[in-house]
A = this chain, B = another copy of it.
Amino acid sequence: MVPTIQWYGKYIRMVDQRKIPSGIRWHFCRRYRDVIRAIRNMVIRGAPAIGIAASMGLALGASSIRTVSVAVFRKRFGEMADEMLNARPTAVNLKWAVDRMSAMVDKMADSPVDTIKSALKQVSIDILAEDIECNRRIGKNGLSLIPRGATILTHCNAGSLATGGYGTALGVIRAAHENEKDIRVIADETRPWLQGIRLTAFELMEDGIPVSVIVDSAAGYLMRQKKIDLVITGADRIAANGDTANKIGTYQLAVLANANKIPFYIAAPLSTVDHALENGDMIPVEERSGEEVLRFGKKNIGPSGLKALNPSFDITPARYISAVITEKGVIRPPLRRGISRLLKA
């Protein structure tokens, strides 16, 4: 698997995810605003990957600040951090990464600017490495939830491409495959961006994991036909009570899994938890342009003048979630208590 994002000398290199599976094209970011644009325009997506990109982007931005005054540096860095925060609203990993970078700046207030710059780059490298390690732990922790021979439904892409590598939901799937659990994956195509058919199918086929895709509307039918044993998705933000924001359509899957008595799991690093939010209703849901729905490539699908609503995420209430698989262990309901305990652990 190609690395989703990495330092490439002084610059950042990421796989342009809009081009997959047609080809692997590298997208280079030379300024921190290139990173903001790349996040906004879906060159890179997936909550953990966005967090990594934000940290690298800020390190890149920091390196471009020309001053020896720490005060000037901090002011400018703070502005960049605010800008970065606004790149996309729903995934909390972005905020988590920005906060971690800002905390480092605060902590090093007595160091020379160049030392702070180097430290920031190192933090971004650490965040990437930790994310991959974290995903492997999520994979291992999720293993006990995957029965031998299971058919697993997943939505969007919570794989290597959505993270530093290995994946969250797909991390669990990869771990099950590596442990010869003889699993099979059904991937929702995930309109409008088709991450399922383009990214998830691509990743799983590269790894030799059996995968078929379906339109998003077919998930309930297959559940009712008893052709799906469990559902796993990633998460963009988890509130203190366990309510979870993830790609639009996740809520529907959770309701349908519940109606069909199928377990519904979230796989996500603990950095996805936003403990400041009491419940999911407080999570901001990004509305993207209707054009994403109305066009395929450059072609208009519908009549001209047609409007589309395009909420990009939805909120799954905690009561529909059978467990949250994290790097520190599996959280069973009541999620609020389990989340709080693991965050303190």
Binding site for B on A (CB under 8 A): 21, 186, 188-192, 194, 197-198, 201-202, 205, 211-222, 224, 247-249, 251-252, 255-256, 259, 285, 290, 293-294, 296-297, 299, 301-303, 305-311, 314-315
Contact = CB atoms under 8 A, between A and B. Distances in A.
Contact of A217 (B21, B191, B301, B308): B191
A297 B298 CA distance: 13
B21 A218 contact: no
B301 A197 contact: yes
B314 A220 contact: yes
A306 B214 contact: no
Given A218-B249, A224-B314, A248-B217, A202 B303 contact: yes
Contacts of A218: 248-249, 309-311, 314
A197 B309 contact: no
For A249, A255, A293, A302, the residue with the greatest tally of chain B CB atoms inside 10 Å of its CB is A302
Contact of A189 (B191, B211, B219): B191
Nearest to A190: B217
Contacts of A188: 217
Consensus secondary structure, chain A interface: mixed
Contacts of A189: 191, 293, 301
A214 B21 CA distance: 25
Given A186-B309, A221-B252, 17 more contacts: A21-B302, A188-B217, A197-B294, A197-B301, A197-B306, A197-B308, A202-B302, A212-B290, A212-B308, A213-B293, A214-B310, A216-B216, A218-B248, A218-B309, A222-B309, A252-B256, A256-B256
A233 to B, nearest CB: 12
A33 to B, nearest CB: 30
Nearest to A303: B21
A175 B308 CA distance: 24
B248 A215 contact: yes
Contacts of A256: 252, 255-256
A305 B251 CA distance: 30
Nearest to A225: B311
Given A21-B303, A302-B202, A221 B251 contact: yes
Nearest to A252: B220
Contact of A303 (B201, B222, B303, B305): B201
A306 B213 contact: yes
Contacts of A251: 220-221, 224
A257 to B, nearest CB: 10
B213 A216 contact: no
Given A249-B218, A311-B218, A302 B213 contact: yes
